[in-house]
Every structure is written in structure tokens, then in C-alpha cells.
């Protein structure tokens, strides 16, 4: 009975109940890279700490801290297991979908809680690159403005999709894009489809 009513998979539940690699004492942990993303005002914030084998470019150890709900905790926990021993350039490419796949899926309305983990990891790797004279490897994640009238970016469209927007009308409701001249509708609709596929398709 209990497992049926649980909205998470057993694996996600296990990582929530027994989170792995939580950072215990920040002062004693000498991280080579540290990244913080999110905001507690929005309900979740994550910190990721990595140790790197500089010769091989491999993550040898990592720790994390998360303020957030069960899926935020579970996804950071499983991410910390995924990246150990991973090459930096591979870790850089981890997507939220990789994380949810590893968890055996998340309920649809919880997927937006899992998108911070990979960002926190990339922030930690960027921090490492920055400190070790490898700034050229940092890929800027710059938002692109899609709706000029209402100043809405592709990032905001992605966010709206994660929150549940599935139609252009729902995008408009959430972001107010396309409510003035409407020129951005084709591009916004294209991105909508792209982000739905990125985060919610079953493949």
C-alpha cells in the first residue's frame, strides 16, 4: 500500500530517505570547484562541491547541499553518485533528463525540481576551470530574448514548460510573451516543442 501511494520511484525514494555524499563540514572539505544555483525564495537552492584529478581531468569526489523538496534532494544525491570518476567534459554535458532517468523517472509536476542539479554541477566545474586558468573551457549559458516586446528569454520559456505550459496560450499566461505584437509566436512555439521534447519525451 505505502509504496503504491508514494509518488516517487523506489530509487528516488531511497535517495531521498538516505541521501548520499551530503557535505558535512564545509571548512574541512577542500573542494577544487564549488557552485551554487537557485534561490531559497523560489523554494530550492543547491550547492555542489567537486574534487578534481588535475592530470586526468576527472572528478574524484563530490559533495552537495540542497535546500528543497524530496525530488531536489533525491536528484542531487543521485547526481553525486553519477559524476564520481567521470571526466569533466562528460560531467559538463549531464542534462536534467539524465538525472531523472537515473532516478527511474519523476512525477511530471516534479521535473522542474530536478533541473538545478546539473546547473550546480556545471557551476562547480566552471569554478574549477576559472581557478585553474582554463577559462576558455567555460561555456556561457546566455539567455536569448525571444519576445522583444515583453523581454522574454528562451530560458524563461524553458522554465514555463517545466512548470507545465504545453500550449502557446499557456506560455502567454505564464510569461506574457507574444501579447503585444505577436511576432515571436512561431519561434516561441518551436521552442515550446523543443523543450517539451527535451524534458518530457519518454525516449
Partner 1 sequence: MAKRQIYLDNNATTPLHPEVQRVMRKALGMFGNPSSLHSFGREARGMVEDARERVASFIGAEADDIIFTGSGSEANNTVLSTLTCQSKACDDKCEHVVEIITTKIEHPCILETSKCLEERGTRVKYIDADCLGKINIEQLKDSITKNTGIVSVMMANNEIGTIQDIKEIAKIVHERGALFHTDAVQAAGKIPVEVGDLDVDFLTLSAHKMYGPKGVGALYVKKGVPFCPLIRGGHQEKGRRAGTENTIGIIGFGKAVDMREKEMEKEGKRLLELKAVLKQGIEEKIPDARFNGHPMDCLQGTLNMSFDGAEGEAILLYLDQEGIAVSTGSACASGSLDPSHVLLATGMQPERAHGSIRISLGRHNTIKDVERVLYVFPGVIKKIRDMSTVETGKE
Would you tell me which residues interact with partner 1 (CB under 8 A)?
2, 16-17, 19, 22-24, 36, 40-47, 64-73, 109-110, 112-113, 163-164
> From the candidates 62, 69, 113, 147, which is the catalytic residue?
113
- Give the nearest distance from C-beta 86 to partner 1 in angstroms: 22
C-alpha cell at 190: 518551436
- Give the nearest distance from C-beta 72 to partner 1 in angstroms: 8
Residue 75 contacts residue 121 (beta carbons within 8 Å): no
Residue 86 contacts residue 59 (beta carbons within 8 Å): yes
Residue 62 contacts residue 49 (beta carbons within 8 Å): yes
Q: Which is nearer to partner 1, 141 or 163 (CB)?
A: 163
What is the DSSP-derived secondary structure letter of residue 140? Answer: P
- Give the nearest distance from C-beta 134 to partner 1 in angstroms: 26
C-alpha cell at 142: 546566455
SS3 98: helix
Dihedral, 85, 90, 92, 94 alpha carbons, nearest 10: -90
What is the DSSP-derived secondary structure letter of residue 66? Answer: E
Q: Which is nearer to partner 1, 14 or 53 (CB)?
A: 14
- Give the nearest distance from C-beta 41 to partner 1 in angstroms: 5
Q: Which is nearer to partner 1, 88 or 158 (CB)?
A: 158
- Give the nearest distance from C-beta 187 to partner 1 in angstroms: 24
Residue 82 contacts residue 64 (beta carbons within 8 Å): no
184 is catalytic: no
42 is catalytic: yes
Q: Which is nearer to partner 1, 9 or 36 (CB)?
A: 36
Kind and range of the H or E run holding 12: helix 10-17
How far, in Å, CA of 143 to CA of 28, rounded?
36
Q: Which is nearer to partner 1, 23 or 94 (CB)?
A: 23
The catalytic residue positions are 42, 113
Amino acid at each position: 500500500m505505502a509504496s503504491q501511494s508514494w509518488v516517487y520511484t523506489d530509487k528516488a525514494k531511497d535517495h531521498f530517505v538516505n541521501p548520499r555524499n551530503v557535505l558535512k563540514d564545509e571548512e574541512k572539505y577542500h573542494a577544487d570547484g564549488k557552485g551554487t544555483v537557485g534561490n531559497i525564495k523560489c523554494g530550492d537552492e543547491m550547492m555542489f562541491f567537486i574534487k578534481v584529478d588535475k592530470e586526468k581531468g576527472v572528478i574524484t569526489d563530490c559533495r552537495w547541499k540542497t535546500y528543497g523538496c524530496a525530488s531536489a534532494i533525491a536528484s542531487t544525491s543521485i547526481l553525486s553518485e553519477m559524476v564520481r570518476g567521470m571526466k569533466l567534459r562528460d560531467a559538463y554535458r549531464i542534462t536534467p533528463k539524465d538525472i531523472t532517468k537515473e532516478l527511474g523517472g519523476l512525477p511530471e509536476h516534479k521535473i522542474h525540481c530536478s533541473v538545478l542539479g546539473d546547473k550546480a554541477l556545471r557551476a562547480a566545474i566552471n569554478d574549477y576551470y576559472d581557478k585553474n586558468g582554463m577559462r576558455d573551457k567555460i561555456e556561457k549559458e546566455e539567455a536569448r530574448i525571444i519576445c522583444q516586446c515583453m523581454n522574454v528569454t528562451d530560458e524563461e520559456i524553458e522554465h514555463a514548460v517545466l512548470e507545465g505550459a504545453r500550449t502557446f496560450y499557456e506560455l502567454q499566461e505564464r510569461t506574457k510573451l507574444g501579447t503585444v505584437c505577436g511576432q515571436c509566436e512561431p519561434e516561441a512555439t518551436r521552442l515550446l516543442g523543443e523543450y517539451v521534447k527535451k524534458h518530457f519525451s519518454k525516449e
